[in-house]
Structure 1
Amino acid sequence: MRREQGLVVGLVALSVTAGWVGWSGKVLLLPVAFAFPVLWSQAPTRIAAVLVSAGYFLAASRGLPQGVATYYAVDLWSGILPWATASFAFVAVHTALWSERSRRGRAVGYAIASLLMAVPPFGITGWAHPITAAGVVFPEWGWFGFAIAAAGLAVLTTWLWPAAAIAISGFWLWSAAFWTDPALPEGWREVDLKLGAGLGRESSLQWHRDLIATVQDEAKQGARLIVLPESALGFWTPTVERIWTDGLSGLEVGVLAGAAVAGRDGYDNAIVNITSVGSAVVYRARMPVPGSMWQPWRIWSEHPGGARAHFFANPVAEIDGLRIAPLICYEQLLVWPFLQSMTHAPDVVVAIGNGWWTQATSIVSIQRASALAWARLFGKPVAVSFNI
């Protein structure tokens, strides 16, 4: 009994370490998350599988309590419940599919769990998915690399795990030795802002003029297309459109920027493409942040609202003769938005976010690392723009 208890304590400690280090925001450390299926498969009981799964996910998502507290201006303890709630799907799926019968049963169970956590509905909270590290281990291998990584994760739950771990570590070290971040297409600029909570909430004329001045400065330095963060434009209205098209007059430059597009039953968290001759909404978020933005329960209330989720819609958009894979904020933590976009062979990944509420956490760094890893897996350039 004591030996088993010691084993469980060791497995939980290692799973916490894997979640903490793998999801530290350093892209080259993402493969540490590959340790999770090994630890999960070593659990001697279902209760131990619960503890291992919870330890990994809670460590990986450790920034959530502080982020919630900042976003809602409440104390840190108020962020504990959303943190625990967010872990429920991950822990429940991996607990239900853990098998005490055989290693083969656990390999099949992990493969199913991995799939479920990659797509809706469970994939809606499918953060910290180890498959994200495929781009670090097998950069530019594309779908073949993805398949090898998925198979490798399953093999890590079998008696062959030492050989699989050695092979994966070898590819990881080789990749790290020659790693280069994806480059931007020629003429593109990614602009990070440090405007805090005001971005998306401030709507004065001067606010827009200041942002336009930033774009004008980039255009004078040769930028052909400029990427601004999520919510940079606030609510997108005909008046705001006119301010921006007038501000770009005489410039051969385009702007990709986040905005909120209002509708009868809510709004879309969107990306707008603007030039001096007009604008177009080119992307509507497939998965806004659950709870704070996407509130599906409101459909039954007298006052429906919140951000709409378009799940599998508009995975790519045509911009400046290129096909882009757009991802807004929360989507960068999930699996299916990336994979769906990649089935359409995009030319560029565009990842934007508004992370002012993540101060003192690693959330934005994790989002950046995730976007870089997926882009490297498929050999795509990536433009990343955040407000903090």
Structure 2
Amino acid sequence: MRREVMIIAVLVSLAVVVGAVGWSGQVSLLPAATLFPLLWALSSTRIAAAVVAAGYFLAASRGLPSGVAQFFAADLWVGLSFWVAAASSFVAVHAVFWTARSGLVKAVRYLLILALTGLPPLGITGWAHPLTAAGILFPGWGWWGLLALTAVLIGLASRIGPAIAIALSGLWLWSAASGTNQILPVGWRGVDLEMGASLGRDSSLQRQRNLIALVQEVAGSGAAVVVLPESALGFWTPTLERLWREGLQGVSVTVVAGAAVINANGYDNVMVAIDGGGGRVLYRERMPVPVSMWRPWERWIGETGGARASLFANPVVEVAGRKIAPLICYEQLVLWPILQSMLHRPDAIVLIGNGWWTTGGNIVAIQRASAKAWSALFGVPLEISFNT
């Protein structure tokens, strides 16, 4: 009994290390997450598998408690409650599909786990997915790279898992030596802002005029498309559209920026495209942040106010002559939005976010690392714009 407890303690400790290192925000360290399936497979009981999964997920999402507390201006216990709740589906799936049987049975079950934690509905909170590391281990392989890593992860859950882990470590060292550089789309410029919580909440015309002046300055340096963060424009209205249209008259530039569009039941978190000829809603977010933005239960009880999830709508959109895969903030933490977009072979990935509430944490760094990994996997240029 004592020996079994010690083995579980070692596996949980290793899971915590793997989660913390893999999801540190350093793109080269993402492959550490791929070692988790081996630890899960080595668990001797269902309870042990659940605890190992909890250790990995909680370590990977360790920035959530303080971030939630900042967002809601609440005590840390509120963030801790969200942290535990977010881990529940991940832990439950790994516990339910654990089996004492080894070999093919366990490998097939882990394949089911990969699918369930990557796709809706459970994939809605499917953070820290090991497949995110595919672009670091198999850069440029595209879908073949995703399949290759899937096979590796399944193999880690089989009898030959330790041998595969050794080979995987060698591949990881080779990828780290090769490095991963962000591929930038020519003529596009993502602008990072440091406006904190005021971005999107300061509705003054002066704030918008300042942003227009910033865009004019960036366009003057040769950018044909300027990308601004999530919520940069606040609420998108005809008055705001006219202000930007007039401000961009005579400037050869297209602006892609985050905004919100009010509707009867709440609002849509969107990207808009603006130039001297006017503006339009370019993209409606498929997966807003659960609870803080997306609250589907409100309709059941007759309340309104939350963000609408467009789910599988508009996976790619066209702007400035390019087909782009648009991702707003939370969508970069889960698996399925980027994979759905990649099915349509976009010319570029455009990621915007508003991470003021993550101050002191690593969530924005994780989003950037994940985006670079997907860009590297499919060889698709990437542009990022964040507010902190």
- Please state which band the TM-score falls in when normalised by the shorter chain: over 0.9
The secondary structure found in structure 1 opposite 2:118 is coil
| Separation (CA, whole Å) in 1 of partners of 2:11 and 2:187 | 49
Contact 1:248 1:275 in 2 (8 A): yes
Shift of 1:113: 0.6
Distance 1:180 1:5, change over 3 A: closer
The secondary structure found in structure 1 opposite 2:70 is helix
The secondary structure found in structure 2 opposite 1:384 is strand
Distance 1:180 1:113, change over 3 A: closer
Residue in 2 that maps onto 1:47? 47
1:179 corresponds to 2:208? no
Deviates more, 1:181-190 or 1:150-159: 181-190
| Separation (CA, whole Å) in 1 of partners of 2:171 and 2:351 | 27
Taking the TM superposition and a 5 Å limit, the aligned residue runs for 1:136-215 are 136-215=136-215
Residue in 2 that maps onto 1:29? 29
Q: Once superposed, what is the RMSD of the aligned Cα atoms? A: 0.9
Residues 244-284 of structure 1: CA deviation (Å, up to 9, x unaligned)? 11111100000000000111111111000100101111110
Residues 124-153 of structure 1: CA deviation (Å, up to 9, x unaligned)? 000000000011100110000000001110
Residue in 2 that maps onto 1:3? 3
| Separation (CA, whole Å) in 2 of partners of 1:173 and 1:36 | 17
Contact 1:316 1:344 in 2 (8 A): yes
Counterpart amino acid of residue 282 in structure 1: L
Contact 2:102 2:159 in 1 (8 A): no
Structure 2: runs of 5+ lacking an equivalent: none
Shift of 1:109: 1.1
The secondary structure found in structure 1 opposite 2:143 is helix
Residue in 1 that maps onto 2:381? 381
Residues 227-255 of structure 1: CA deviation (Å, up to 9, x unaligned)? 11000000000001011111111000000
Shift of 1:168: 2.2
Shift of 1:169: 2.3
1:225 corresponds to 2:225? yes
Shift of 1:102: 2.4
Residue in 1 that maps onto 2:298? 298
The secondary structure found in structure 1 opposite 2:29 is helix
Counterpart amino acid of residue 242 in structure 2: R
Residue in 1 that maps onto 2:343? 343
Large movers: runs of 4+ above 6 Å? none
The percentage of counterpart residues that share the same residue type is 59
Residue in 2 that maps onto 1:96? 96
Residue in 2 that maps onto 1:127? 127
| Separation (CA, whole Å) in 2 of partners of 1:123 and 1:317 | 23
The secondary structure found in structure 2 opposite 1:117 is helix
Shift of 1:179: 1.9
Structure 1: runs of 5+ lacking an equivalent: none
Contact 2:255 2:273 in 1 (8 A): yes
| Separation (CA, whole Å) in 1 of partners of 2:215 and 2:247 | 9
| Separation (CA, whole Å) in 1 of partners of 2:331 and 2:302 | 29
| Separation (CA, whole Å) in 2 of partners of 1:51 and 1:294 | 29
Contact 2:136 2:180 in 1 (8 A): no
Deviates more, 1:178-187 or 1:106-115: 178-187
Residue in 1 that maps onto 2:258? 258
Residue in 2 that maps onto 1:284? 284
Distance 1:59 1:180, change over 3 A: closer
| Separation (CA, whole Å) in 2 of partners of 1:122 and 1:270 | 24
The secondary structure found in structure 2 opposite 1:127 is coil
Counting matched residue pairs gives 388
Shift of 1:173: 2.1
Residue in 1 that maps onto 2:85? 85
Shift of 1:175: 2.0
Contact 1:138 1:171 in 2 (8 A): no
| Separation (CA, whole Å) in 2 of partners of 1:281 and 1:18 | 40
Q: Normalising by structure 1, report the TM-score.
A: 0.99
| Separation (CA, whole Å) in 1 of partners of 2:357 and 2:93 | 29
Residue in 1 that maps onto 2:107? 107
1:74 corresponds to 2:71? no
Shift of 1:178: 1.9
| Separation (CA, whole Å) in 1 of partners of 2:309 and 2:282 | 15
Counterpart amino acid of residue 116 in structure 1: L
1:249 corresponds to 2:249? yes
Counterpart amino acid of residue 383 in structure 1: E
Counterpart amino acid of residue 99 in structure 2: S
Shift of 1:383: 0.4
The secondary structure found in structure 2 opposite 1:183 is coil
| Separation (CA, whole Å) in 1 of partners of 2:140 and 2:175 | 10
| Separation (CA, whole Å) in 1 of partners of 2:272 and 2:181 | 26
| Separation (CA, whole Å) in 2 of partners of 1:140 and 1:167 | 20
Shift of 1:177: 1.6
| Separation (CA, whole Å) in 2 of partners of 1:215 and 1:328 | 20
| Separation (CA, whole Å) in 1 of partners of 2:208 and 2:64 | 31
| Separation (CA, whole Å) in 2 of partners of 1:187 and 1:25 | 27
Q: Normalising by structure 2, report the TM-score.
A: 0.99
Residue in 2 that maps onto 1:367? 367
Residue in 2 that maps onto 1:318? 318
| Separation (CA, whole Å) in 2 of partners of 1:181 and 1:311 | 30
Contact 2:38 2:162 in 1 (8 A): no
Contact 2:102 2:158 in 1 (8 A): no
| Separation (CA, whole Å) in 1 of partners of 2:224 and 2:161 | 49
Counterpart amino acid of residue 183 in structure 1: I
